[in-house]
Amino acid sequence: MGAIIVLLGIIAFIVLVIVVMYNGLVGKKNTTENAFAGIDTMLKKRYDLIPNLVATVQQYMQHEKSTLTQVTEMRARAMAGGMSNDEKVALDNQISKAIGGIMVAVENYPDLKASENFDQLQRTMTEIEEQISAARRAYNAAITAYNNGIEMFPTNILAGMMNYKRKEVFVIPEVQRENVDVKDLFSK
Amino acid sequence: MDLQKSKQLYPFYVKELVPEIELLEQDRKKIVKKMTIIGLVLAALVIPFFFIVDEIGTMIFPVIIAAVIFGWILHYSSRDYASDFKDSVLQKIVAYIDPSLVYTPTMSISEGQFMQSGIFRKGIDEFDGDDYVEGKIGATKIEFSEIHAQYETRDSKGRTSHHTIFKGLFFIGDFNKHFSGDTYVLPDQAERLLGGLGGMLQGVSKKYGELVKLEDPVFEKEFVVYSEDQIEARYILSPALMERITKFKQKSGSRISMSFKGSKVYVAIPFAKNLFEPKIFSTILDFKPVKEFFDDFALTIDIVEDLNLNTRIWTKK
């Protein structure tokens, strides 16, 4: 009788451990998805700002019309949705580069640079950029926790059975690390 | 603050402070004389007891009573002197650091503000503070003071004893970014003591919100971060700010705690010593204590620069 109770106890304990590990892994996976949604929200905030940016700068920037149109187009594509996460990231990198170019080109237009409207816009842009970067860091932290769960013992055994695969952390793409070549951007 | 201020402190001390201190030094000497007489009288009253009683337990009593009387008289007779010292010397030191700052020796950060920070959650039974400084450094509004917050416990015999919740400098500054949730940066006790296991335990407690794991290893070793919002916590604690906080911690040499709440940053810097109090039994006509007062004020005022709070490139101007 006593042996049965002990055995049942052990089984109950093992089941409990498995449940905790299983829930932990599912929780980590969901956190990564949630964290990507966080990046998405921040990116959308930036997309929302693009019409405002274009409207503010276009009356001053006569020479950069094509870049402005390009940014607007890219925004429309981003807003349309139906893209995979990788595509979203790639498109966003292009948008970042273009916006960066516009911000640098503003240096050539002192009137625009001095305007109250643009100052506010630039502050909002800086803020959003930093929020996007924060969202990416949050995503990377979530991915790291998830990857650790998948690779560390003993959760790795369970993760293998659940068919959970390693996910990649965000790396800043090469294009963004380079300095923006404005001349190249506007000569297109 | 620019290095120049620190370098120019000695000439400033000689020119501006020495005349003031010389006046105060006379008061101090009078107090010392008075206290010496009182001390001798008390000793004359106590010593005979040593010959009457021979039990150590009972011998202690008159000594304690004499010490309490001595301390009490010292406190009351040096009160005016301390307040004169603050009004003249400390006032000038604060104004020297930044003329826009207002120093009020008798005021302090309120208990409400202290609790508002959310850093300390224990119920307060006794709250004291003084040496309040308020003003604007560049675009950043700041205020700070010395604080001593305590709680009481009663033992089975009904004796109360006081325990410190926080003692030191408490700083409140306007933060340069907008945010909506609460984020806490606390000293990392668990991880230092228990290593990885401590790290796991930190996630269990939800008292301050969710645990935020940050990527700066030096910062992570010193601090533990909790927040209501993972993204916002990272928006506030940019890689640059984490580095600055770590540096500030080293500079202060103290186990600092911080919170980011309601568009403000709260910094609690514990100090064992009683800050901004002039000495009675050693001369104040000395650059060393002046330098110490200056350093303690500057440490707190420089939080604005050390944390880069005057950088206003975001929507909050």
ipTM above 0.90, yes or no: no
Cβ distance B314 to A42 less than 8 Å, yes or no, reads: no
CA angle A115, A117, A121 (to 5 degrees): 120
* Per-residue pLDDT tens digits for B180-191: 999 999 998 876
CB–CB of B101/B144 below 8 Å?
A: no
Q: Over 60: is that where the pLDDT of A183 sits?
A: no
From start to end of chain B, where are the E strands?
Answer: 102-104, 126-137, 140-154, 160-174, 183-187, 210-212, 223-227, 257-261, 264-270
| pLDDT of res. A175 | 47
CA B193 to chain centre: 26
Q: 0.80 exceeded by the pTM?
A: yes
Put simply, whether B200 touches A (Cβ < 8 Å) is: no
Determine, for residues A126 and B314 on separate chains, whether the beta-carbon distance falls below 8 Å.
yes
Which pLDDT value is given to residue B196? 65
Cβ-based contacts of A38 with chain B (< 8 Å) = 230-231
Q: What does the DSSP 8-state code read for residue B302?
A: T
* CB-based contact, A127 to chain B, within 8 Å: yes
Residue B42, CA atoms < 13 Å, CB-side half-sphere: 19
Asked if B314 and A134 touch (Cβ cutoff 8 Å), the reply is no
Q: Under DSSP, is residue B146 helix (H, G, I), strand (E, B) or coil?
A: strand
Q: Chain B 207-226, CB below 8 Å of chain A: which residues?
A: 212-215
Give the distance from residue A39's alpha carbon to the nearest chain B alpha carbon, in angstroms.
9
Give the per-residue pLDDT at B52.
76
Of residues B20, B34, B46, B129, the one with CA closest to residue B77: B34
Record: contact A141-B315, CB cut-off 8 A: no
Distances (CA, A) of A97 to A103, A125, A183, B160, B263: 10, 13, 13, 66, 31
* pLDDT band per the 50, 70, 90 thresholds, residue A186: low
For B95-143, what is each residue's pLDDT tens digit? 999 999 999 999 999 999 999 999 999 999 999 999 999 999 999 999 9
The per-residue pLDDT of chain B, averaged, comes to 90
What is the distance between the alpha carbons of residues A103 and B4, in angstroms, rounded to a whole number? Answer: 37
Q: Convert the pLDDT of each residue in B220-258 to its tens digit.
A: 989 999 999 999 999 999 999 999 999 999 999 999 999
| pLDDT (0 to 100) of residue A188 | 43
* Residue B139 to residue B147: CA distance in whole angstroms: 25
A57 and A68 in contact (C-beta within 8 Å)? yes
At residue B60, the pLDDT reads 81
Can you tell me the distance from the alpha carbon of B35 to that of B77, in angstroms, rounded to the nearest whole number? 9
- CB A130 to CB B315 under 8 A? no
Q: Which of A41, A43, A118, A130 is the best residue to mutate to test the B interface, defined by the most B CB atoms within 10 Å of its own CB?
A: A130
- List the structure tokens of B14: 């000689």
